Amino acid sequence: MPYSLEAEQSVLGAVLIDPSCFALVMENLRSAAFYRPQHQQIFDVMTNMFNMNRTMDFITILDAVKGEQIFETDEDAKIYLTNLAQVVPSSANVEAYCRIVREKYYVRRLITASREIIDMAQESQAESDVLLDSAEQSIFDIRQGRNTSSFKHIRTAITETYELLQHLSGEDRDKYKGISTGYPALDRVITGLNKTDLILIAARPGMGKTSLALNIAENVATKGGRTVAVFSLEMSSEQLAQRLLSSQASVEGQLLRTGELTGDDWVRIAMASQVLSKADVYLDDTPGITVGEMKAKLRRLKKVDLVIIDYLQLMSTGRRSENRVQEVSEITRNLKIMAKELNVPVITLSQLSRGPESRTTHKPMLSDLRESGSIEQDADIVLLLYREDYYAREEAEERNIAECDVAKNRHGEVGVVKLGWDNRYTRFTNLELGRDEP
């Protein structure tokens, strides 16, 4: 395996003669970047001392290395660390030494990943698509490790913000503002679907969370001309297409499922099919998909403006875990990271616990989110759906009205947005507000 012994020794030696440079070293390297196990262990010792605010110099580091028994004898430790301190020309060039160590590390990872890909291809009975996904994910994991950010002076951040404000107030503002959901009342509260946001739509079964997500996908793709990727872990792509056709063509979903269609229905379906066929909507119905697999598939699209996942509790981390709370926490963290990496809004659907069923009002709350409090913490926006007439079919004051409660909004206000609900076409609509209503 390729590595630079001189560069690794120079990094560690620079810290021994000038411990103040270790903060810079930590920004550039992790212990895994070193090839020699002893170098990894010495770096771990330095890291622990730095994290514990212990005094770092040649003597204290030597004492800590002896305590970890990295070398066979204390004398070997002393001789080796002395050589490290003598081999480095100057600590001023430590960043250049780090760069050499890091580059060799990525080359080794590429070699290892390539060998694993070859072994999988020769031994595995898996389909080529699965192998491609695995290969892409391996390479992406290496590339992801290279993406590090440093401090940005507030002057630079303000300049970038000022440029964004100019764009938002200019003629091409639509390119820079949040993507419209197709529901103006909701857009006013959440300022549209903004890049890097993790947006959660949560409700009890039967409230229409899948319908709302598909309606938003339809609006974004057909009216906004954007590219939408939909991952459905519960319904097949054919069932999703049926729902989209029902909404777009205004043909009852039940008629589409039974095939009892009139001549007018066929005409509307044909027209809706033309509209939807031109829209950039991509459907994936892989069950139990992981976040890593999602990222691999989304990268192949090259351009995506919105990601929708139906739904969170059916996702997997790809590893066996007896603690479902920790597993869901890991999934939500990774979804937020994915939204930032791909720089797109991610809408994730989520089930609620049975809490609303035991309450008089049945209205959901943030505490009803199932399995993990991290769902609420990681999400930028949480939308809770509720329809009164679902529970009180006869006594409901507002029929065919859905409340979309913006229970959390990291960017602004919270509040309830009312939408129309058309059960025949499983479609949410904008309400016609009177002149006196805001």
- Give the residue numbers marked as catalytic: 234
Integer Cα distance of 215 and 182 in angstroms: 8
How far apart are alpha carbons 106 and 3 in whole angstroms?
A: 10
- Output the CA angle 44-49-55, nearest 5 degrees: 145
- Helix, strand, coil in percent for the chain, rounding step 5: 55, 15, 30
Pairwise CA distance, residues 38 & 46, whole Å: 12
Alpha-carbon distance of 177 to 171, in angstroms, equals 12
* Preceding omega of 311 cis (within 30 degrees of 0): yes
Exposed, middle or buried, 81 (CB in 10 Å: 0-12/13-18/19+)?
Answer: buried
What is the C-alpha end-to-end distance of the chain, expressed in Å?
68
Distance CA 118, CA 217 (A): 39
The secondary structure of 76-91 as a DSSP string is: HHHHHHHHHHHH-S-G
**Cβ-Cβ contacts under 8 Å for 299 (sequence gap 6 or more):** 136, 140
Question: Tokens 């339809």 correspond to what residue?
Answer: 218
For residue 178, the 8-state DSSP code is P
Q: Compute the C-alpha angle 368/372/378, nearest 5°.
A: 100
Pinpoint the alpha helices (H) of 29-179: 37-51, 58-68, 74-87, 94-123, 128-146, 154-168
Q: What is the CA radius of gyration of the chain?
A: 28
**What is d(CA 12, CA 82) in angstroms, rounded to the nearest whole number?**
11
